[in-house]
């Protein structure tokens, strides 16, 4: 099985030409990819601490996601553990308003007692 890491310029889900936005959405849409980015927004974590922060995701899945996120330049690893790169921090800053919107959305849905 070949490397399936979403890279701009290569075919990805939703884009035969690998448009950068589609490559990013493919990457972040994978199980636990966005969760890893979100958790590392609080600072570096060791593998085990990151696994716990991600609700005990399986080690094999976490390893796959970390490999993809490192290959794409969003995450790196050093003596302090895994951490977001400058690109990863920039991506997180763009995702944070979406997280705030999602909180408001959830509150609105929870307060809506009527179903269509």
- What is the rounded CA–CA span in Å between residue 7 and residue 4? 9
The larger pLDDT score, comparing residue 75 to residue 116, is at 75
pLDDT digits (tens, 9 = 90+) for 1-13: 357 899 999 999 8
What pLDDT is stored for residue 39 in this prediction? 97
pLDDT digits (tens, 9 = 90+) for 39-76: 999 999 999 999 999 998 999 999 999 999 999 999 99
Number of domains in the chain: 1
76 DSSP β-pair partners: 83
Residue 73 within any structural domain of the chain:
yes
Query: Which pLDDT band, with edges at 50, 70 and 90, does 93 fall under?
Result: very high
CA dist 75 → 1, 50, 71, 102, 115 (Å): 23, 12, 8, 24, 41
Residue 115 within any structural domain of the chain:
no
pTM, rounded to two decimals? 0.86
Structure token pair of residue 24:
């990013």
What pLDDT is stored for residue 56 in this prediction? 87
Domain that includes residue 58, residue range: 31-110
- What is the rounded CA–CA span in Å between residue 82 and residue 56? 16
Per-residue pLDDT at 89 exceeds 50 = yes
- What is the rounded CA–CA span in Å between residue 35 and residue 29? 10
Residue 98 within any structural domain of the chain:
yes
Residue 16 within any structural domain of the chain:
no
CA dist 70 → 15, 43, 65, 84 (Å): 22, 16, 8, 9
Residue 66 within any structural domain of the chain:
yes
Residue 83 within any structural domain of the chain:
yes
CATH number at residue 103: 1.10.10.10
Angle between helices 20-28 and 33-40 (to 10 degrees): 80
């Amino acid at each position: 099985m070949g490397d399936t890491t979403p890279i701009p310029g290569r075919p990805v889900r939703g884009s035969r030409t690998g448009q950068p936005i589609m490559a990013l959405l493919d990457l972040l849409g994978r199980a636990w990819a966005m969760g890893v980015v979100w958790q590392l927004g609080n600072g570096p974590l060791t593998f085990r601490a990151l696994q716990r922060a991600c609700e005990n995701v399986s080690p094999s899945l976490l390893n796959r996601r970390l490999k993809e996120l490192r290959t794409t330049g969003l995450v790196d690893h050093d003596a302090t553990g895994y951490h977001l790169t400058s690109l990863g921090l920039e991506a997180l800053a763009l995702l944070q308003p979406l997280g705030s919107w999602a909180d408001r959305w959830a509150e609105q849905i929870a307060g809506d007692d009527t179903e269509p």
